[in-house]
Amino acid sequence: RPEGSVIDAKRISALAVARAAINDNQVQADARYIDIRLNVNGKPVPISAGEGDDEPSETELMIMADADAMQTAVKNLVENAIHYSPEHTTVAVGVGERDGKVTIRVVDQGIGIPEKSLDRVFERFYRVDPARSRETGGSGLGLAITKHCVQENGGRISVWSRKGEGSTFTIELPAAPADEEPTAVQGV
């Protein structure tokens, strides 16, 4: 975590963060006939906690992070995935753990990002296509805020995209030590 940071890091569930982000965006997804799917380590799980028999426990996939900051980050990614995807497509949110890192990945079937813009998408006020800004709305701050939230929590964010093929945004955070009690995530 950067020095002088004012985040309130607690042991929280990355799965609960992903579920809250999906719930916060469900109305917009439904309005555009976009199906949101959630998976953990590649296996589908219910979006609502407690609906599956062999669903992973939210005490797995723990991170040390500020819950509000991480909810903001993941909510922004899901919101963008919905916003830039055609109707009747799918947005997938995946949570996983490998090599001491927890990942939250948002994959869409949207318009994609041209290769020349990939290095700049996290800059404040940067718009991939300024001519479409009026049509799509937004301030050009969402991904900059997302990157800031992730970095303030000791993580990193990356993007893979190809124009016309959609985008994949991946947040990677250190897994939390197993010796602390988890903190509940609001909105789940």
Q: CA 122 to CA 187: how far, in whole Å?
A: 26
pLDDT at 13 over 80: yes
Instruction: Provide the total of helices (H) and of strands (E) in the chain, helices listed first.
Output: 4, 8
Mean pLDDT of 85-99: 94
Q: What is the pTM of this model?
A: 0.84
Q: Do residues 143 and 76 touch, judged by C-beta distance below 8 A?
A: yes
- Angle of helix 142-152 versus helix 67-83 axis, rounded to 10: 150
pLDDT tens digits for 19-72? 999 999 999 999 999 999 999 999 988 888 765 555 566 557 899 999 999 999
The correct answer on CATH 3.30.565.10 for the domain covering 10-174 is yes
pLDDT at 4 over 60: no
- In degrees and rounded to multiples of 5, residue 183 shows phi and psi of -105, 135
So where are the chain's domains? 10-174
Nearest to 170 by CA among 98, 86, 107: 107
Query: C-alpha angle with apex 134: 151 to 93, nearest 5 degrees?
Result: 40
Other beta carbons less than 10 A from residue 64's beta carbon: 19
pLDDT tens digits for 119-150? 877 767 555 554 444 445 555 577 888 999 99
